[in-house]
């Protein structure tokens, strides 16, 4: 196995400058995508756990006003469903205190406030997913570009000799094909990560949508 590793390193070191730059770009893209996936995995896991904890507290039958007061004390650290609830309850309470809006108007104002907060939370969860999609879609083509360029150089060198042999062209083609392999190595995890995280964000968005409508129904009953 060591001989194989040494031969790959040797082929990379002997590749043309442009092919080496292509390989460097692919390595950086792979490292960047893995960093995004690790951070995104932690972020989505925290968001799902936070939603579960809040739903348990919300549906436990306690006083929602007391729940709002508890959340307001740590308003700067709120996220996810907690932030959506806090925004909606604050808007509803303010509308009712002013006394100038009807119950239906107060509920509608709360719904709008929750939707704005929800969009902000979803935008935060979707951050950097576009980078994974870009790496997944472009890396194979970048690797293919390096491969084509390397093979072109190999055939160009063959044109300068009278008798071409397989041993002369094989190293050049092998070093060029490494670029394609590196492109796939960068693209496949990025595509898998993007699909997985996009699905989790979509599920959280549906969860938030459901909560907003359920909470608005509660507000309508209490405001009537």
- Specify whether the CB–CB gap between 193 and 80 falls below 8 A: no
pTM, two decimals, is 0.82
Q: What does the pLDDT read at residue 56?
A: 92
Tallying the residues shown for the chain, one arrives at 224
**Predicted pLDDT at 1:** 42
Q: How far apart are CA 103 and CA 43, in angstroms?
A: 37
pLDDT of residue 2: 45
Question: What stretches in the chain show pLDDT beneath 70?
Answer: 1-8, 10-11, 14, 99-101, 157-172, 223-224
Domain ranges for the chain: 2-61+128-223
Query: Residue 93 corresponds to which tokens in the numbers above?
Result: 């309470």
Cα separations (Å) of 30 from 18, 37, 134, 150? 18, 10, 11, 21
pLDDT at 102: 78
pLDDT of residue 220: 86
């Amino acid at each position: 196995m060591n001989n194989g590793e040494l031969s790959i390193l040797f082929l990379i070191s002997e590749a043309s400058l442009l092919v080496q730059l292509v390989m460097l770009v692919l390595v950086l893209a792979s490292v960047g995508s893995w960093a995004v996936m690790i951070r995104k995995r932690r972020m989505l896991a925290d968001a799902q756990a936070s939603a579960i904890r809040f739903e348990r507290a919300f549906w436990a039958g306690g006083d929602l006003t007391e729940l709002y007061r508890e959340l307001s004390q740590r308003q700067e650290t709120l996220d996810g469903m907690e932030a959506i609830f806090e925004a909606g309850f604050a808007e509803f309470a303010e509308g009712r205190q002013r006394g100038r809006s009807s119950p239906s108007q107060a509920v509608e104002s709360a719904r709008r406030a929750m939707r704005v907060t929800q969009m902000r939370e979803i935008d935060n969860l979707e951050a950097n997913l576009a980078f994974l999609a870009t790496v997944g879609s472009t890396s194979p083509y970048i690797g293919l570009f390096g491969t084509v360029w390397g093979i072109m150089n190999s055939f160009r060198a063959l044109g300068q000799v009278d008798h071409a042999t397989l041993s002369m062209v094989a190293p050049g083609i092998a070093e060029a094909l490494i670029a394609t392999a590196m492109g796939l190595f960068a693209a496949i995890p990025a595509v898998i990560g993007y699909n997985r995280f996009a699905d989790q964000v979509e599920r959280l968005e549906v969860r938030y949508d459901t909560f907003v409508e359920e909470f608005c129904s509660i507000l309508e009953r209490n405001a009537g």
